[in-house]
Amino acid sequence: MRLFFALFMLLVPFCSAQGTHLEKIVLEEVLTIGNFDDDSLFQWVGVAVDSEGTIYVTDAMDYSLKKFDASGSLLAKTGRRGQGPGEFSAPRLLDCSKQFLFVTEQYQPVIKVFDKKLRYQFHIPLVGPAGDLKVLEDGLVAVVVLSANGQSHLEFYDREGKIVRKVHFSERPSSLLLDMVSFDLDSQGNVYLAYNFVDKIVKFDDRGKKLWSKNLLGIKQVKSEKISSYLVPTEIVYKDVALDRSGNLYVLGGKFSANRSRDVYVLSPDGELLSTLTLPDTSHCIYIDGENFLYSRANEGVTLKKYRMVYK
């Protein structure tokens, strides 16, 4: 009987959060950082949360990296406009390992690395500007590097900037930015990609073999604009992806979603659409921390919201 009870308790969270049992997710707001009067956030871009619940944010408006405690109080801030060590021209993506924080620059092929006290440590050179970033451990980061020839790769860099592994996900060369993706990695090394300008979500295994591919919105092609000699897509289909603790994939929709930049599609690890939730405000990204809290933007980047996800 005791064994049965233990098994039952172990299975309860999976039944409620993973697979076909998941029907509805309700967001309960638990924290707000940044209002109209304070100076904590001006235009946040990237967010990462460590195992202590400390929240790190890049702010493009004041060229900074900021650290908040779990209750939302600003603990520290670093950075200013510039090209030198610890300075930023347009800080963007952010992720953390046990020891370090990794920050990308929007237009520079580099990752700037800081310790948890926000002291600049070193940089990792990239072959092109980063389109998305995930940190696997202190000395290993996965980056989608934007490529001008229309064939981007997911590349794994060590701390010296050496590429130790590559996943080719482009099937054929495409127009500039059409193979731009957001991605996440699960604990088995599987890669989930959502194309930013194509209606396509794909899963690869850790050896780069495609497991499945989905399109959720039925979009054939997005509008493009000719800029210089390039044809550049201008309508975002999917903005970001994040995995929760159960391995479900959250995909933030862009222009074509019923609630533009607010609808989040929840897919099982097998690619089955389980549910759709709607953020209260438009966001450019979603982030899910180790405790399964979801973070998104509000008030055009002046505010960061943290939500508890309640599975119904």
Partner 1 sequence: MAAGRDSPLEDVFEKKLLLFILDFQDFSCMTCLDSFLGLYRQLPLRIKTSNAWGILVINAPEKEENKRVWIAEKKLRGFIQANQIVSPILVDRLDFLGGLAEEGSGVLLFDGSRNSVHRFNFPLAGYQFEEIFEILNK
Give the strands of the sheet with 140-145, arranged side by side.
130-137, 140-145, 153-158, 163-168
Stretch that binds partner 1, among 50-58, 140-148, 172-180, 296-304 (CB under 8 A): 296-304
Q: Which two three-digit tokens encode residue 236?
A: 């975002």
Containing 288, the helix (H) or strand (E) segment is: strand 286-288
| Phi, psi for residue 301 in degrees, rounded to 5 | 100, 0
Q: Does 225 bind partner 1 (CB under 8 A)?
A: no
Q: Does 260 bind partner 1 (CB under 8 A)?
A: no
Question: Residue for token digits 């930015």?
Answer: 177
Out of 25, 49, 57, 60, the residue judged to bind partner 1 by CB under 8 A: 60
Out of 80, 98, 117, 168, the residue judged to bind partner 1 by CB under 8 A: 80
Stretch that binds partner 1, among 36-44, 94-102, 115-123, 156-164 (CB under 8 A): 36-44
Sign of the CA dihedral with 265 first, then 269, 270, and 275 last: negative
Q: Provide the residue type at 8 as one letter.
A: F
Q: Does 224 bind partner 1 (CB under 8 A)?
A: no
Stretch that binds partner 1, among 23-31, 32-40, 199-207, 226-234 (CB under 8 A): 32-40
Distance CA 65, CA 92 (A): 10
Beta bridge partners of 276: 265
* Of 43 and 54, CB closest to partner 1: 43
Which of 216, 208, 209 lies closest to 241, judged by CA? 216
* Of 106 and 190, CB closest to partner 1: 106
Q: Are 93 and 70 in contact (CB under 8 A)?
A: no
Strand, helix or coil for residue 74: strand
* Of 43 and 292, CB closest to partner 1: 43
* Of 16 and 43, CB closest to partner 1: 43
Q: Does 282 bind partner 1 (CB under 8 A)?
A: no
Distance CA 48, CA 45 (A): 11
Q: Does 285 bind partner 1 (CB under 8 A)?
A: no
- Considering the complex, what minimum distance in angstroms separates the CB of residue 109 from partner 1? 15
- Considering the complex, what minimum distance in angstroms separates the CB of residue 52 from partner 1? 27
Out of 31, 90, 110, 211, the residue judged to bind partner 1 by CB under 8 A: 90
Residues 6+ apart with CB under 8 A from 138: 97, 98, 99, 100, 159
Stretch that binds partner 1, among 18-26, 61-69, 234-242, 254-262 (CB under 8 A): 61-69
Q: Does 63 bind partner 1 (CB under 8 A)?
A: yes
Stretch that binds partner 1, among 49-57, 151-159, 259-267, 300-308 (CB under 8 A): 300-308
Binding mask 91-120 for partner 1 (x = CB under 8 A): ---------------xx-------------
Residues 6+ apart with CB under 8 A from 217: 199, 237, 253, 256, 257
Residues contributing to the site for partner 1 (CB under 8 A): 36-37, 39, 42-43, 59-64, 80-81, 89-90, 106-107, 299-302
